[in-house]
Amino acid sequence: MAKKRVLITGGSGFLGSHLCDKYIHEGYHVICMDNLLTGSEDNVSHLFGNENFEFHKHDVTNYVYVKGDLDMVLHFASPASPIDYLEMPIQTLKVGSLGTHKVLGLAKEKNARFVLASTSEVYGDPNVHPQDEDYWGNVNPIGSRGVYDEAKRFAEAMTMAYHRFHGIDTRIVRIFNTYGSRMRLYDGRALPTFMRQALNGEPLTVYGDGSQTRSFTYVDDLVEGIYRLSMSDEIEPVNIGNPDETTIREFAEEIIEVTGSSSKIVYEELPDDDPQVRQPDISKAKRVLDWEPKVERRDGLIKTLDYFKEQVLRANA
């Protein structure tokens, strides 16, 4: 019996590469597709030579061709950090719109299940707390962050249109802040920035007064949630995240403690449209996926520490 085959776009990125590992572990043949705009072959180099893995360098905003059958398409291609989508606004909008259209077309052609990586950013700076899947969000479409938020909102709309009009078997995961190995040291997100600064003995940069909140999910928990969703019958969006909310100031203090750093915290002006709160309501994930995060934040930070120590050593070499 032939192995099931899955295409993972953005497969050499932080999340995509962990998904490649997961689906190979679950017995799939994985086709990893990435244009390496923000991903890295280093994240999947351990899979080179594995007969159940293949890598295709390709930009999914162009025509996407995959030879042979496909059972599933996971669309995870996109810049995903504020620095990335502020530096690459057009690419971010194109991969959310044109890219989503192209890979949905491929899923239609192959009669494959389609899994969209959406984001908690579809909720914008929310007026509802915690955020559940029925909340429509509070997004500034013309703000600097709007290129990412609206790209993902459009991608959700396109996914549901293909489901309703073409009968495509679709899934939508709304991903909340996630951390773990294979994050880029300079991707601008809170965890790698704080880790880099703490390990270098530099001040940790907190924006505003640090009272804004986030909820951080360890990558293994997230990947398990995405896998369960991909195997489920749930068509509409599902939040996958950790409801353990913390302020950014408390998070910075926790990083200083975990790293054993003597760094201090400095405060800078809050960027435009920076969400003040972010916490997932995961009632739906618990109910339909029997999923909830298992790894406590401090334990996850300790698991991730050696990776960041190695990255800092490399950067400083």
**Residue 216 CB: number of other CB atoms within 10 A?**
23
Q: What is the largest CA-CA distance in the chain?
A: 59
- Determine the residue type at 143: G
262 SS3 class: coil
The CA distances from residue 4 to 13, 146, 169, in Å, are 22, 37, 16
| Set 148, 162, 218, 227: catalytic member | 148
210 CB-near residues (< 8 Å, 6+ apart): 247, 248, 249, 250, 252, 265, 267
Helix, strand, coil content of the chain in percent (nearest 5): 40, 20, 40
281 SS3 class: coil
Give yes or no: 307 in active site: no
| Residues recognised as catalytic | 148
